[in-house]
Amino acid sequence: MKENKYKDFGFKLTPQRLAILGFLEGNTSHPSAEEIDSALSEKFPTMSLATVYNTLETLRQRGLVRELSIDPDKKRFDPNVSPHNHLICMECRRVVDVQENFPLSLGLQDKAGFDIIGHHVEFYGICPECRRAAAHTT
Ligand code: ZN
Ligand code: MN
């Protein structure tokens, strides 16, 4: 674990927080707080969902993790904070990265005086596994 990476953020690195950071590092599954909690609770029996939430919120405020609202059921978290888009399966809620960039821009009227700093495109669909499963049951 590269602890130095987080030294400058005024972030106290408790073992639990380090475990959360380690779980997120390079993770492309866009986990929810509940998933992070259950993945780590065996090794850290005192880890609570509140700890996970608080840590995620601290990381989000420092720009180290991105919070996604693509899943209607729960917030999902992404350690990849570089601009990219997402695709979600509406059956199993799998979230996949979309690397393609979309040259979107707003006209003067739609900008409503805002300085636009980014955009996020969300695609909804059914993944191949769920499509196969549906084909087998009908
Ligand atoms: Zn699916
Ligand atoms: Mn992503």
In whole angstroms, what is the distance from residue 83 CA to residue 85 CA?
Answer: 7
Which among 78, 99, 123 is the end of a domain? Answer: 78
Distance CA 100, CA 43 (A): 38
Q: For residue 109, report the distance from its CA to the centre of ligand 1, in Å.
A: 38
Q: What is the residue range of 112's domain?
A: 85-137
Q: Are residues 57 and 91 in the same domain?
A: no
Q: Where are the beta strands (DSSP E) in the chain?
A: 66-68, 76-78, 85-89, 95-98, 122-125
* pLDDT over 80 (residue 16): yes
The pLDDT value given to residue 7: 64
Number of structural domains (the chain) is 2
Place of tokens 């990265």: 97
pLDDT of residue 12: 80
The alpha carbon of 30 and the centre of ligand 1 are apart by a number of angstroms equal to 14
Write out pLDDT tens, residues 94-132: 999 999 988 889 999 999 999 998 899 999 999 999 999
Query: From the CA of 35, how far away is ligand 2's center (Å)?
Result: 16
Q: pLDDT confidence of 138, banded at 50, 70, 90?
A: low
Q: What is the pTM of this model?
A: 0.86
